[in-house]
Amino acid sequence: MIACVPENLATFAGELRARFAGRSSVTVDAPLASRTTLGVGGPADLLVEPVSEADLAVALRFCHQHGLPWRVLGRGSNVLVRDGGFRGMILLLDAAHFGRVERTGSQLRCGAAARLKAVAGSARKEGLAGLEFLEGIPGSVGGALRMNAGAHGSWMFEVTESVRFVEPSGAVLEAAAGDLQARYRSCDFLAGRVAVAAVLAGRPAAPEAIRERMEANARQRRASQPRTPSAGCIFKNPPSVPAGRLIEELGLKGTQIGCARVSEIHGNFIVNTGGATAADVLRLVEHVRTRAGGAGITLETEVEIIGEDSPPTRMRHA
């Protein structure tokens, strides 16, 4: 289908607003850099914040009808937006409606906008072990499902029982996690759907023991990962060697292009030293990839790269 972002975005946005039942917001030409942890990239044509599943379904049907590309943005920790911005609709799930965390037995039902840190905190308070690893991942439940986020030897789908999601047609469905065929750092099934909630399973344990494990994880992370803005690990770990170790062994730590630099603390992080562009980051990604390729290792990016290199050329409307 051909994408048809119209030249008069404001009229288009008005058409969408009129279809919402709730107070969902639509912003035209919305900056995205500040909504990502890396802090680079251009604006989205449309930024939509649905306040309910019904309005989310309306937005998805609208995209479907107009052939408009869309993406969901969680906490923006694993996304690189190119400098020309995103032609289409970025969906942000309203935290008040989609951010709830509720306990049932040894399970937590979590909205997709819930922060992973908050989920780990709730699990600790409720005395549910097994979710400690989520504490340090700077993302939301929805993003963690989409990319099967992991840390400290655990990963999202290891603790997920079921996922509720909205189809592009607007249908709301629920599926057992085992049916979604998640793999290392991806759940491809969710690429064309929007996860709105998940049931996570824990095991009863003493809150104090859970807290100790969370603190040990946090200490390890503080010692091994940079605090300068980044998108987390930029590459997936190839099967033969952790990407960070490979990059260190290739002598690439500290390599800088523009204001993007390979972290001296952890080789698999590219940090924005202030004022980096997406082009700086992408050139550095290619440089590292080429050097790894020279050593016979293929590095695949872990971050989702979206948008265009150049801004659109639209006619101005009076």
Chain residues in the site for ligand EPU (CB under 6 A): 151-152, 224, 232-233, 236-237, 242, 244-245, 248, 266-268, 302
CB nearer ligand EPU, residue 109 or residue 152: 152
Task: Give the integer Cα–Cα distance in Å for 298 and 75.
Answer: 28
Minimum gap (Å) between residue 59 Cβ and ligand EPU: 28
Minimum gap (Å) between residue 129 Cβ and ligand EPU: 17
Minimum gap (Å) between residue 148 Cβ and ligand EPU: 10
CB nearer ligand EPU, residue 71 or residue 236: 236
Minimum gap (Å) between residue 240 Cβ and ligand EPU: 12
Task: Give the integer Cα–Cα distance in Å for 25 and 141.
Answer: 22
DSSP string over 291-310: HHHHTT----B-SEEES-SS
Q: Which tokens go with 176?
A: 């057992």
Minimum gap (Å) between residue 232 Cβ and ligand EPU: 3
CB nearer ligand EPU, residue 19 or residue 245: 245
CB nearer ligand EPU, residue 88 or residue 232: 232
Minimum gap (Å) between residue 288 Cβ and ligand EPU: 12
Q: Helix, strand or coil for residue 273?
A: coil
CB nearer ligand EPU, residue 63 or residue 134: 134
CB 75 within 8 A of CB 301: no
CB nearer ligand EPU, residue 30 or residue 79: 79
CB nearer ligand EPU, residue 115 or residue 236: 236
CB 112 within 8 A of CB 197: yes
Q: Helices in the chain by DSSP H: which ranges?
A: 9-19, 53-66, 95-98, 116-125, 141-146, 207-224, 243-249, 278-294
Q: How many residues does the chain have?
A: 318
Q: Helix, strand or coil for residue 189?
A: helix
Using DSSP bridges, classify how beta strands 70-72 and 86-91 pair: parallel, antiparallel or unpaired. Answer: parallel
Minimum gap (Å) between residue 195 Cβ and ligand EPU: 18
Q: Which tokens go with 87?
A: 């032609």
CB 85 within 8 A of CB 307: yes
What is the number of other CB atoms lying within 10 angstroms of the CB of residue 45?
A: 23
